[in-house]
Structure 1
Amino acid sequence: MSDFDVTAADSIDLARLRRFVAVAEELHFARAAKGLRISRQALSATVIELENELGTRVFVPGASPTQLTEDGAELLTHARALISAQEQAEREQKPEAPASLRVGFVPGVTVSKWARIWGDRLPDHPLEVVGVAQGEQEAALREGRIDLCFVRLPIDRTAMNAIPLWQETPVAVVQKDDALSLLETISPADLAEEHLQDGSDIDQAVDTLALVAAVGGATIVPQSIARLHHRRDLVYRPISDTEFTEIALAWPAGTDSELLEEFVGIVRGRSANSSRGVAAAEPERRAAAKPARKTTAKKPAAKQQPARQGKGRKPGARRGR
């Protein structure tokens, strides 16, 4: 029976123990060296040093394929525990990541302006921007996949907070050589004889426009969608007497946070100095920085001199008779 004391490995640096574990798990020096991105010779030298330091063989000499000795198997279990304990300690000491915010947007919405302002004002808090299918906009918010979302109304307002932002111009999309393409504005009456392709499913807009390009007719979509999926063989024209679609910023009720309020403020145009987080402390800072007004004694009012007769006459001038 071996008198090997496995606790002797406690004084060995983890880098060498990790190399031993790699060979012990692969049971192949060449593969282990490749995984560690070191040479096979360097790995073999590390194992030899380890065996000399521990005073025991951890691999069966000359065995093919590579095999662990009984002491080697005991060292493998102990080394794994040491490595696991060190990794756990590093995780506990690692500072928490700064709070971040996840913002979704449906097709046709561009959020780069607000993301840029966020980066300037809150560089220590990452902003994750996520594209969301319109059909998933409410589910993504309910399930917590995103914190806020630029949505296309309508949505269920009973469980969502929503701030309407802007309306989208509806456009009719027709083939480039269609007679309607000559008009600056198209009315519903102009479309009476056209075959209308259903454009209500925004997520399938690219297929709907391809269908118009292939077989003709027309479809009605928000202008932002027509621009997003622009094709050279199609044109779009504003359409009159048609309901506008509306974009809003929405988030689940009861999930307000400081970061969420900051982003809402940015979207609503609130300046950096007037944001909620800054505005609350601003009056106190101004009051503390403002010196107390000095009170000075008022000068006594000058005594009024009695008016002189003949005020305004030149010296020596005679009064006329």
Structure 2
Amino acid sequence: MSRLESIDTTRLRWFVAVAEELHFARAARGLGISRQRLSGTVIELEEELGTKLFVPGAQPTQLSPDGQEVLSEARALIAAADAAEPRVESAATDRLRVGFVPGVTVTKWERIWADRFPDIALTLTPIPMKEQEQALREGAVDMCFVRLPIDREGMSAIPLYRELPVVVVPKDHPIALFEQVATKDLADERMQDASDLDDAAMTMELVAAVSGAAIVPHSIARLHHRKDLVYRTVTDVPETEIALAWPAAKTTELAEEFVGVVRGRSQRSSRSPSGQQPEKKKQPVAKKAVVKKAGVKKGGAKKPATPSRQGGAKNPGKRRGR
């Protein structure tokens, strides 16, 4: 019996991700979790197994001899678990695969979808920003929360919101005293290249190490928040824009339903497929029986209507003011 059989598969997958990447930040990004949570899970795993899985203090990250053995065992257990799962998953013929780039939080939409469509699986996959278009065009996901711009040819895209740019600096930096700054205020700073948002964790490391600065979207600074760094709004740098995109030729009913969820439409909205209920046929109205009264011929004089209490005729026998 393997010593890992009592450990849940999710924790094993997280360990394998770190062991294969040999980089905690990249592994956490690929798993869609925080670096702190991933590190904590590995520490708990080491305590449970009574051994070090990685060489302490090694830069770059290195597996220990015991870690190599655990990696081999973990891969075998994960493969066995995956082999047993497809039969269960194949029963769900309807599913929607949605990707999201770093900085996008999808928890709210995931919860609404689960409440509204409990029988339709929603798979959420973290996608590196540099692979966002490729993931859509090659069918790795059905839809994706992307950071604009993208090539719009053959794509449908709904802009959702804009993100303010912020500058990240060490906590004791003079800029930390201000609420917002302009680029001219950063003219003498050692600016780090932050164009690769997929490697933002390393950018933050550099800012902390050399007391530099970096400009990134607000969500990225928040995602990689550290106690030794602060971020302040930059007033004259263009905002970035987040959109939901998908191949136009694959605009399915599920895609339209997800658009409705993201845009905040109600479940009964007529703009969503599930809200477009067929009109009910009108039931024939029963005709009232006509009672003919004696002495009144068809087309004769009608009986005067009885006045109502509110707004009706006054009693002719009374005078006003008396």
Could you tell me the TM-score, scaled by structure 1's length?
A: 0.62
Match of residue 122 from structure 2: 127
1: CA distance, partners of 2:243 / 2:275: 25
Query: Deviation of residue 252 (structure 1)?
Result: 1.1
1:101 aligns with 2:96: yes
Match of residue 241 from structure 1: 236
SS at match of 1:162: strand
Give the partner amino acid of 2:273. Answer: G
Query: Could you list the per-position Cα deviations for residues 64-120 of structure 1 after superposition, in whole angstroms to 9, with x for gaps in the alignment?
Result: xxxxxxxxxxxxxxxxxxxxxxxxxxx99x985331010000000010101111101
1:143 aligns with 2:138: yes
1:167 paired residue among 153, 162, 169: 162
2:257·2:274 contact (CA, 8 Å) conserved in 1? no
Give the partner amino acid of 2:207. Answer: V
1:280 paired residue among 276, 279, 284: 276
1: CA distance, partners of 2:286 / 2:237: 66
SS at match of 2:180: coil
Of Structure 1 and Structure 2, which has the larger fraction of its residues in helix? 1
2: CA distance, partners of 1:191 / 1:226: 17
1: CA distance, partners of 2:187 / 2:91: 61
Give the partner amino acid of 1:273. Answer: R
Identity %: 53
1: CA distance, partners of 2:205 / 2:238: 24
SS at match of 2:113: helix
Q: After TM superposition, where is structure 1 displaced by more than 4 Å over at least 4 residues in a row?
A: 290-297, 303-310
Trace 1:155-234 onto structure 2 (pairs within 5 A).
Answer: 155-234=150-229
2:94·2:121 contact (CA, 8 Å) conserved in 1? yes
SS at match of 2:250: coil
SS at match of 1:260: helix
1: CA distance, partners of 2:304 / 2:242: 67
2: CA distance, partners of 1:306 / 1:162: 68
1: CA distance, partners of 2:306 / 2:171: 92
SS at match of 1:259: helix
1:98·1:124 contact (CA, 8 Å) conserved in 2? no
SS at match of 1:273: coil
2: CA distance, partners of 1:300 / 1:128: 72
Trace 1:20-59 onto structure 2 (pairs within 5 A).
Answer: none
Match of residue 76 from structure 1: none
Q: Which runs of 5+ in 1 are unaligned?
A: 1-90, 315-321
Query: Deviation of residue 277 (structure 1)?
Result: 2.0
C-alpha change, 1:303 and 1:229, in structure 2 (3 Å) is closer
Query: Could you list the per-position Cα deviations for residues 268-316 of structure 1 after superposition, in whole angstroms to 9, with x for gaps in the alignment?
Result: 111101152233216x1xx44x76667778x8434899996982475xx
2: CA distance, partners of 1:252 / 1:171: 32
Which one has the largest radius of gyration? 1
Match of residue 4 from structure 2: none
Match of residue 33 from structure 1: none
C-alpha change, 1:280 and 1:182, in structure 2 (3 Å) is same
C-alpha change, 1:303 and 1:221, in structure 2 (3 Å) is closer
C-alpha change, 1:218 and 1:307, in structure 2 (3 Å) is closer
Match of residue 311 from structure 1: 319
C-alpha change, 1:216 and 1:273, in structure 2 (3 Å) is same
C-alpha change, 1:218 and 1:308, in structure 2 (3 Å) is closer
2:92·2:121 contact (CA, 8 Å) conserved in 1? no
Give the partner amino acid of 1:266. Answer: V
1:117 aligns with 2:112: yes
2: CA distance, partners of 1:99 / 1:281: 20
C-alpha change, 1:303 and 1:144, in structure 2 (3 Å) is closer
C-alpha change, 1:130 and 1:295, in structure 2 (3 Å) is same
1:269 paired residue among 248, 264, 287: 264
Give the partner amino acid of 1:99. Answer: D
Give the partner amino acid of 2:132. Answer: Q
Give the partner amino acid of 1:311. Answer: R
Query: Deviation of residue 158 (structure 1)?
Result: 1.0
Give the partner amino acid of 2:275. Answer: A
Match of residue 11 from structure 1: none
C-alpha change, 1:313 and 1:97, in structure 2 (3 Å) is closer
Query: Could you list the per-position Cα deviations for residues 129-165 of structure 1 after superposition, in whole angstroms to 9, with x for gaps in the alignment?
Result: 0000001000011110100000000000012110000
Size of the aligned set, in residue pairs, is 219
C-alpha change, 1:295 and 1:179, in structure 2 (3 Å) is farther
